[in-house]
Structure 1
Amino acid sequence: MAITIKDVAKQAEVSPATVSRVIADNPRISAKTKQKVRETMKSLGYYPNFQARNLVAQKTRTIGIIMANSTTLAFQNPFFPEVLRGISVSAHNSQYGLYLSTGATEEEIFEEVVAMDQGKRVDGIILLYSRVGDRIMDYLFQSGLPFSVVGRPHTNADAISYVDNDNIGIAKQVMAHLFGLGHQRIAFIAGGKDFVVTLDRLKGFEEALAEHAIPHQAEYVVNQEGMQQDGKGAIRQLFELPEPPTAIVTHDDLVAYEVIGYLEDLQINVPEDVSIIGFNNHALSKHLKPPLSSVDICIYELGVEAANLLLEKINDEKAVPRQITVSSRLIERGSCQGR
């Protein structure tokens, strides 16, 4: 026979209404009573029917997660599993599940978001990116569905809840580290030019050059499209310049790994001939030879805060949009040396 809420109430010596309030995590119920009821539920093997409760409350208790690319491509980058780990912890603590976008194209992902909203499949959405002129963010901003963003929105930033790093500041810190080692000819391997994080880091790169009275040379900036079309050729062109770079900053550690491979093919040694720094501090970076200097952007914390911001909006539709800056720091390893 299935255990019922009345069985739990009898065993815990409380009313069925109290058990129901404990299941709903009602703040009016004391921590002591909650613990007692939850222990009773566990000992009896009672599992609440959340689907029925959600129908009554008109809530799905589900968060939609939207990535810039299909899940197949996104999970090739360690950033996404780590940010999802942070989101999952926060969601679990509030008894929410996750609904991942599965579209393979931008159009399919957009259609998924519309379906999530209009089909009432989720209570809110987290965008794991911020892009210039993004249809999805524009749609969400107009829809009224609660949402938060990992990354600074390009427009309406003050009216949107988001979490980000100080990407301009950390790019300048990276440049200051390289200047301190005696480097002045520094190349920048950028991410997608329509992503706000790329624009901010590139701005920091350019401001740092200007502050040190070093001319900005366009040929030292390699965009993502160039790397995707012919990465080895793009790196070769850098080192065929009359004055090749003595240091390279890449927008992601994965790109740094790729660049190091091309440099080996060109018989250019790291760090003896050129220093290199990445972003995101992936787990493998410290095991490279030489270990890769990288910026730790606290990916897990970005996920936790993005989920907390969204849950705040879900639980209180009048909640004022908030913006959170998560700290980041340069991890110095063996891929850089002085000139």
Structure 2
Amino acid sequence: MKNVTIKDVARVAGVSPSTVSRVISDSQRISKKTKKLVRKTMKELGYHQNAIARSLVTKKTNTIGLVMARPTQEAFANPFFSEIIQGIAVVTQKKHYNLILSSTGDYHEEQEETIKLIRNRRVDGVILMASRSNDELINQLLEAEFPFVLIGRSPEYQGIPIVNNDNIKAVYDTVIYLFKKNYQDIIALSGPREYIVSQDRALGYQKALAEHAHKNQRIIYIDDFTYEDGYQGTLKFLESNREPFDAILAFDDMIALGALRAVQDYGFKVPRDIGIVGFNDDPMISYLRPALTTVKIPINKMGKEAAEMLINILNNEDYQGEEIILPTELVIRETLQ
């Protein structure tokens, strides 16, 4: 069945399409008699406003923006992003909100795309997937008083709405567990250092080693949270390193899988020679052999909580958001003895 358009309504009502548009936006320039006629015609024809037309009246689009500073193929190659987006989508669908997903090449494009979404009134609020040191995008959103929720945390901006886990404590507890299992020389394998999540996890690692008089702290920073970067970063370390080590703590499961392949290609046995721990507990990780020991983060729930919070902010003037910290759990599998 053909969708009824503004032109159809105008033709039947005997008015111009611009008059119908003004009735939709409740313009004061249109008489009550004409408004009544047009609205009656809209009802009879079964005309339904699209999201853009509705926004002219309500100033709301019922749409949430989600912008990622990475190309689409890279984002969905890491299960973390698909899992968190799934959590967000469950809530937006339930609450009758649309979700605009925009992937960009880098951080500067992320800023530009987010500002474009706001200026064009395409979204009512945005969910930020990660934060960096001195994050200018957060500053711009705060100055514009535009609703947002951050998945992660920002050390420069206290009191903003966030959903996170305690990355410092999670890594600290994991390193302590490794010490108790007689692992002594632990390498940390991290994503880019500009991300707050990388910094927090590095702090947890450094804190645990410092408290146990381990002076040899070794953190390897790689280009991204990907399998290939984990593989190449670990190979480089193995080729240049002359000091022994018995465990790798990777700050992401995809990095951990790359490291696992690298140490195996180098002739080591896991977990006999080297233990490996990942981070996130991505789906399918438990089905690999050896199955990866990892820190479980409730990724899907983080997405749900962020979407719930943002929609609550949008619909409740007295609610400014809050800080939600979700628990983590070390899941022991086959890559540790």
TM-score range, shorter chain: 0.7 to 0.9
Whether 1:90 aligns to 2:88 is no
TM-score by length of 1: 0.80
Report the equivalent of 2:290. 290
In the alignment, residue 84 of structure 1 is paired with which amino acid? I
After TM superposition, give the deviation of residue 175 of structure 1 in Å: 0.8
Moved more, 297-306 or 286-295: 286-295
Equivalent AA in structure 2 for residue 105 of structure 1: D
Q: Deviation at 1:224?
A: 1.4
Instruction: Provide the residue aligned with 1:35 in structure 2.
Output: none
| Inter-partner Cα distance in structure 1 for 2:92 and 2:255 | 31
CA contact (8 A) 1:222 1:234 kept: no
The equivalent residue for 1:224 is 222
Q: Which amino acid aligns with 1:236?
A: L
Q: 1:335 to 1:104 in 2, by over 3 A?
A: same
The answer to whether the 8 Å contact 1:235/1:262 transfers is: no
One-letter amino acid of the structure 1 residue matched with residue 196 of structure 2 = V
Matching residue's letter, 1:325: I
Q: CA deviation at 1:332?
A: 0.4
Alpha-carbon distance, 1:105 to partner = 3.3
Match of 2:245 in 1: 245
Aligned pair 1:150/2:151, yes or no?
yes
Deviations 1:284-310 (A, max 9, x none): 211222111011100000001111111
The SS at the match of 2:277 is strand
Q: Distance in 2 between matches of 1:269 and 1:181?
A: 18
Mapped to 2, the partners of 1:80 and 1:206 lie a distance apart of 27
SS for the counterpart of 1:110 is helix
Map 1:178-327 onto structure 2 (within 5 A).
178-215=178-215, 217-218=216-217, 220-225=218-223, 227=229, 230-237=232-239, 240-242=241-243, 244-327=244-327
Q: CA deviation at 1:47?
A: 9.7
C-alpha contact 1:63 1:125 (8 A) present in aligned 2: yes
Tell whether the 8 Å contact from 1:62 to 1:98 is kept in structure 2 after alignment: yes
Structure 1 CA distance, aligned partners of 2:311 and 2:175? 37
Rounded to whole Å, the distance in 1 between the matches of 2:91 and 2:55 is 19
Task: Give 3-state SS (helix, strand or coil) of 1:283's partner.
Answer: coil
Shift of 1:72: 2.7
Task: Give the 3 Å change call, closer, same or farther, for CA 194–237 of structure 1 in structure 2.
Answer: same
Q: CA deviation at 1:228?
A: 7.0
- Greater shift after overlay, 322-331 or 136-145? 136-145
Larger Rg: 2
2:177 is the alignment partner of 1:177: yes
Could you list the per-position Cα deviations for residues 156-193 of structure 1 after superposition, in whole angstroms to 9, with x for gaps in the alignment?
121x1000001111101111211111111111001110
Query: What residue identity is the alignment partner of 2:238?
Result: R
**CA displacement 1:101-130 (0-9 Å, x = unmatched):** 233233322221111111111000000111
Superposed CA offset, 1:14-71 (max 9, x none): xxxxxxxxxxxxxxxxxxxxxxxxxxxxxxxx99645344432111000000113132
Distance 2:171 2:182 in 1: 17
TM-fit CA distance, 1:317: 3.7
Q: What is the alpha-carbon distance in structure 2 between the residues aligned to residue 165 and residue 229 of structure 1?
A: 26
Cα separation, partners in 2 of 1:170 and 1:84, compared to 1, 3 Å: same
CA–CA distance in structure 1, aligned partners of residues 48 and 300 of structure 2: 30
Give the CA deviation at 1:196.
0.7
Distance 2:89 2:2 in 1: 30
Letter matched to residue 82 of structure 2:
P
Displacement after TM superposition at 1:279 (Å): 0.4
Instruction: Specify every segment of 5 or more residues in structure 1 that has no aligned partner in the other structure, as ranges.
Output: 5-45
Matching residue's letter, 1:95: H
Aligned to 2:119: 118
- 1:306-325 Cα shifts (integer Å, max 9, x gaps): 11111121112442330000
Who is 2:14 aligned against? none
Could you tell me which residue of structure 1 aligns to residue 133 of structure 2?
A: 132
Structure 1 residues 213 and 62, CA gap change in structure 2 (3 angstroms): same
In structure 1, give the amino acid aligned to 2:90: V
For residue 232 of structure 1, report the CA deviation from its aligned partner. Answer: 4.6
Change (3 A) 1:260 1:60: same
Q: Percent identity?
A: 34
Partners in 1 of 2:286 and 2:231 — Cα distance?
A: 28
Preserved contact between residue 131 and residue 154 of structure 1 (Cα < 8 Å): no
Q: State whether residues 70 and 101 of structure 1, in contact with CA within 8 Å, keep that contact through their aligned partners in structure 2.
A: no
Asked if the contact 2:231/2:262 (under 8 Å) is kept, the reply is: no
Cα displacement (A) at 1:241? 2.1
Which whole-Å deviations, capped at 9, do the CAs of 1:226-275 have from their partners, x for residues lacking one? 9579425423147x423x11111001111111111111111011000010
In structure 2, what is the Cα distance between the partners aligned to 1:70 and 1:305? 25
Please show how residues 5-16 of structure 1 align to structure 2 within 5 Å.
Answer: none
Q: Residue 71 and residue 317 in structure 1: after superposition, are their counterparts in 2 closer, same or farther (change >3 A)?
A: farther
Q: Does the Cα contact within 8 Å between 1:189 and 1:250 map onto a contact in 2?
A: yes
Root-mean-square deviation over aligned CA pairs: 2.3
- Give yes or no for contact 1:82–1:300 (8 Å, CA) kept in 2: yes
